[in-house]
Amino acid sequence: MIYIYYINIHNIKPCDFLEHGSLSYLISTERLNKINKFQKKVDKLQSLCSELLILFALEKFGQTHTDKLVYNYNPFGKPELLNYDFSFNISHSKDYVICAIANHEYQKSIGIDIEFKDVNTLLTINPKIFLTEVEYLSLTQSDNISTYCDRLLDYWCMKEAYVKYLGKGLTQPLKDFYIVSKDNNNNIFHNESIVNCNMMSLEIDDKYSSYLCYESKQKIFLQEVTCYELFSILNR
């Protein structure tokens, strides 16, 4: 089972979370340092909620977090949990923070991405920068601007989820592989061979695109976490 938890931070009062007295002994020192480097409160809140969602997910797995999370990073900067045997990945965009987590025994790697659909921004992007000819041809067959923007954003999200699944991030050239979407299936071709992984669209919000890339076929559990549920972690 892959568990996906997400939260809408739009109505959260940043001071309720960012100034909570338990942060110093609950949140990892590394995360606190990152939070303190951000200037904007929304960036601070996204970063804090990222770790809180991990803690929330671990509790659902029956894991008590008596110790702070400890991270390790692969050569490309993808984080892993040192003190828990779970694969995880985080993404955030505007009002949403999302976390995917699974037992490492069954999912060696997962990648997730969420992006807000900003039509004005999408129309300024040159799609040939990150799309292959196959993908660009599919994009040009869009019936209208809305469909065009949806497809463009979907391509970006799927590619982001895949390179995060690989653990390489944007060090992996986005035009080195292409995605063919047909009959609700999204197949990835790398070096002209189909990749043995799964790409799933997540229904989070009509104004967002979100995708999960994962290794072994398993059931997906998707749940929105309330502000109260996340805040309750700080009060334990």
Q: What is the average pLDDT across 5-12?
A: 92
Show the 3-state SS of the chain: CEEEEEEECCCCCHHHHHCCCCHHHHCCHHHHHHHHHCCCHHHHHHHHHHHHHHHHHHHHCCCCCCCCCCEEECCCCCEEECCCCEEEEEEEECCEEEEEEEECCCCCCEEEEEEECCHHHHCCCCHHHCCCHHHHHHHCCCCCHHHHHHHHHHHHHHHHHHHHHHCCHHHCCHHHEEEEEECCEEEEEECCEECCCEEEECCCCCCEEEEEEECCCCCEEEEECCHHHHHHHHCC
Instruction: Give 144-170 pLDDT, tens digit per residue.
Output: 999 999 999 999 999 999 999 999 888
pLDDT at 196: 87
Q: Does position 14 have pLDDT exceeding 80, yes or no?
A: no
Confidence band for 135, pLDDT divided at 50, 70 and 90 = very high
**Within the chain, which residue ranges are assigned CATH 3.90.470.20?**
1-107+218-236, 114-209
Q: Which CATH class is domain 1-107+218-236?
A: alpha beta
pLDDT at 22: 80
Confidence band for 124, pLDDT divided at 50, 70 and 90 = very high
Q: Does position 236 have pLDDT exceeding 80, yes or no?
A: no
pLDDT at 26: 86
pLDDT at 67: 78
Instruction: Give 62-110 pLDDT, tens digit per residue.
Output: 887 667 888 999 989 899 998 888 999 999 999 999 999 998 888 889 9
Mean pLDDT of the chain: 91
Instruction: Give 195-235 pLDDT, tens digit per residue.
Output: 889 999 999 999 999 999 998 888 899 999 998 888 888 77
Please give the model's pTM, rounded to 2 decimal places.
0.93
pLDDT at 83: 83
The domain defined by 114-209 folds into Ribosomal Protein L22; Chain A (3.90.470)
